[in-house]
């Protein structure tokens, strides 16, 4: 036992390395994890004191634990058994598919990543690109929502900046969990998005087992009180107009709702922009009649570098206004009371109506609507028609820069001239023919707010005050 054993130096170093790793994994790492876990819990407790809706335990659960919980959910287990029988494959193979889907869907929320990085980055990016304005919101109704209810923000989808803008403007309310499509499954973007609590979905998947796993996760998140954000339209608008709601995620929420448990409260959110960064890509896809389009990460990075260069050389101009309105909340318990059939379709219709009614009206869509109906107008003629057009939308939420009609016309015209969508000649403004599709894209965002008789050149309408006219 006391004999000397000779070992090569490399083997001795290897043994020491294994011993160090074993010691660390059994004694040091658990202590370090416990230390940081305690600090994180105290930080989250302080954060929850200032949030309108505290971060729920469901969102703070370890990702590994949530994956295991999803895999062993009784409905998912039964779905895996049924899938194995239908496909004639061993059950362990079906369960491995379930595990893969669960790992793909389940996020890994980090309070530090969300509130320490994402909120600051969203604020910086939003204000660097746009003049951001928070318009209408029924603060009393929003604060009256049951603290134990699950809140779901439902939004129209104009741009991928929607994620950034709403994350920034809802920073004092709660941490939002988005349903994100395949476009974001690109490293390292996917790691950041997952850390922000977003969960990935395959929007066009026809795999029944995958849909059952996704439905189970949405049910667990909804019953766990996780504050969510979703786009009922399912994708970006190609023509600028609101699209009918797709029922997928809404159906999962309705089917997973427990009348004896938490209520689910939907908060309509409407966004609009003076400039949608992807407008050319979207209108080109609309012309081609194909929804599948790609905006490569390299292309996005190149555009950002170009904007940075313009800023460094003093030639940078923000892309006009971006505005967000929050509408009247809708309780699922109240909406479903007395209804015996599936309420998903009428619920989707009601939510889209509430969203459509609060779409912000901005200078560029207003000017685009005017010049598409009658071109070759002078500045004074545009201002008169602008006044008439606003009067034709008595219930709309019009965001009037500086509460000055002339300045609103100036803002809209300047943005459109700078981008080459309209031309100025002899003091008159006219659309550039080959860019009319972009003008229609912006005009479509508020077309549903115009009454039928306003389509005429005069924009005739009863003389009423607008629902909101905010100074920006």
Same domain, 452 and 319: no
> How far apart (Å, rounded) are the C-alpha atoms in residues 36 and 45?
14
User: 139 is written with which tokens?
Assistant: 């603060």
Q: What is the pLDDT of residue 465?
A: 45
CATH number of the CATH domain containing 136: 3.40.1130.10
Same domain, 344 and 423: no
Domain boundary among 357, 389, 413: 357
Which helix (H) or strand (E) segment holds residue 447: the answer is: helix 436-447
Q: What is the pLDDT of residue 270?
A: 97
pLDDT digits (tens, 9 = 90+) for 376-421: 899 999 999 999 999 999 889 999 999 999 999 999 999 999 999 9
CATH number of the CATH domain containing 375: 1.10.10.10
Same domain, 165 and 119: yes
Domain boundary among 357, 386, 419: 357
Pairing of strands 150-155, 228-230: parallel
Domain that residue 335 falls in: 103-357
User: 38 is written with which tokens?
Assistant: 């305690």
Same domain, 391 and 262: no
Same domain, 351 and 368: no
Q: What is the pLDDT of residue 441?
A: 97
Walk across the sheet containing 377-378 and list its strands: 377-378, 428-431, 422-425
Instruction: Give domain status of residue 22, yes or no.
Output: no
Same domain, 265 and 411: no
Same domain, 183 and 261: yes
State the first-to-last Cα distance of the chain, in angstroms, to the nearest integer: 85
Coil vs helix vs strand at 23? helix
Token pair 């809404």 in the structure block, residue? 250
Coil vs helix vs strand at 268? strand
Instruction: Give domain status of residue 61, yes or no.
Output: no
Q: What is the pLDDT of residue 33?
A: 52
Pairing of strands 422-425, 428-431: antiparallel
Apex 248 CA angle, 330 and 275, nearest 5: 75
Q: What is the pLDDT of residue 456?
A: 41
471 backbone dihedrals φ, ψ, rounded to 5° = -75, 125
Same domain, 220 and 351: yes
pTM: 0.85
In terms of Cα–Cα distance, which of 419, 410, 135 is closest to 275? Answer: 419
Token pair 């054993």 in the structure block, residue? 5
pLDDT digits (tens, 9 = 90+) for 200-245: 888 777 789 999 999 999 999 999 999 999 999 988 899 999 999 9
Instruction: Give domain status of residue 237, yes or no.
Output: yes
Strand partners, 200: 180
Q: What is the pLDDT of residue 300?
A: 55
Residues 6+ positions from 328 with CB-CB distance below 8 Å: 138, 141, 268, 354
> How far apart (Å, rounded) are the C-alpha atoms in residues 378 and 242?
31
> How far apart (Å, rounded) are the C-alpha atoms in residues 255 and 216?
10
Number of domains comprising the chain: 2
Token pair 């940081």 in the structure block, residue? 36
Same domain, 213 and 316: yes
Domain boundary among 297, 328, 357: 357
Q: What is the pLDDT of residue 211?
A: 93
Q: What is the pLDDT of residue 30?
A: 53
User: 460 is written with which tokens?
Assistant: 């005739």
**Which of the residues in the chain have pLDDT under 70?**
1-2, 5, 7, 12, 18, 21-44, 47-48, 182-190, 291-304, 452-472
Same domain, 334 and 437: no
Q: What is the pLDDT of residue 186?
A: 62
């Amino acid at each position: 036992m006391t004999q000397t054993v000779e070992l090569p130096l490399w083997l001795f170093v290897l043994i020491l390395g294994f011993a160090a790793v074993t010691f660390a994994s059994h004694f040091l790492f658990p202590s370090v994890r416990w230390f940081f876990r305690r600090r994180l819990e105290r930080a989250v407790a302080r954060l929850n004191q200032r949030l309108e809706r505290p971060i729920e335990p469901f969102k703070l659960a370890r990702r590994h634990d949530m994956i295991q919980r999803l895999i062993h959910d009784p409905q998912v287990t039964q779905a895996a058994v049924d899938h194995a029988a239908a496909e004639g494959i061993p059950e362990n193979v079906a369960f491995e598919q379930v595990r893969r889907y669960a790992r793909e869907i389940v996020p890994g929320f980090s309070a530090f990543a969300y509130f320490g990085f994402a909120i600051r980055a969203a604020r910086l990016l939003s204000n660097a690109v746009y003049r951001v304005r928070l318009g209408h919101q029924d603060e009393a109704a929003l604060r009256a929502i049951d603290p134990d209810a699950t809140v779901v923000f439902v939004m129209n989808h104009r741009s991928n900046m929607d994620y950034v803008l709403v994350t920034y403007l809802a920073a004092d309310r709660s941490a939002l969990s988005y349903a994100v499509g395949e476009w974001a499954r690109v490293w390292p973007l996917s790691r950041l998005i997952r850390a922000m609590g977003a969960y990935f979905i395959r929007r066009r998947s026809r795999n029944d087992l995958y849909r059952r796993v996704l439905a189970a996760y949405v049910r667990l998140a909804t019953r766990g009180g996780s504050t969510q954000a979703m786009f009922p339209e399912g994708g970006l608008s190609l023509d600028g107009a609101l699209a009918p709601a797709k029922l997928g995620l809404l159906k999962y929420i309705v089917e997973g709702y427990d009348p004896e448990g938490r209520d689910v409260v939907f908060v309509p959110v409407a966004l609009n922009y003076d400039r949608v960064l992807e407008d050319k890509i979207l209108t080109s896809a609309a012309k081609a009649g194909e929804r599948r389009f790609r905006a490569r990460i390299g292309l996005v990075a190149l555009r950002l570098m170009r904007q940075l260069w313009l800023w460094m050389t003093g030639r940078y101009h923000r892309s006009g206004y971006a505005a967000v309105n929050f509408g009247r909340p809708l309780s699922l318990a109240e909406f479903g009371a007395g209804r015996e059939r599936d309420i998903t379709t009428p619920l989707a219709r009601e939510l889209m109506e509430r969203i459509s009614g609060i779409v912000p009206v901005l200078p560029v869509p207003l000017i685009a609507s005017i010049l598409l109906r009658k071109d070759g107008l002078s500045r004074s003629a545009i201002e008169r028609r602008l006044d008439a057009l606003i009067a034709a939308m008595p219930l709309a939420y019009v965001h009037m820069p500086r509460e000055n009609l002339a300045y609103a016309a100036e803002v809209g015209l300047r943005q459109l001239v700078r981008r080459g969508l309209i031309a100025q000649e002899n003091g008159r403004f006219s659309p550039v023919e080959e860019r009319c599709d972009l003008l229609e894209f912006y005009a479509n965002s508020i077309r549903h707010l115009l009454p039928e008789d306003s389509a005429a050149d005069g924009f005739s309408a009863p003389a009423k005050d607008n629902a909101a006219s905010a100074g920006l």
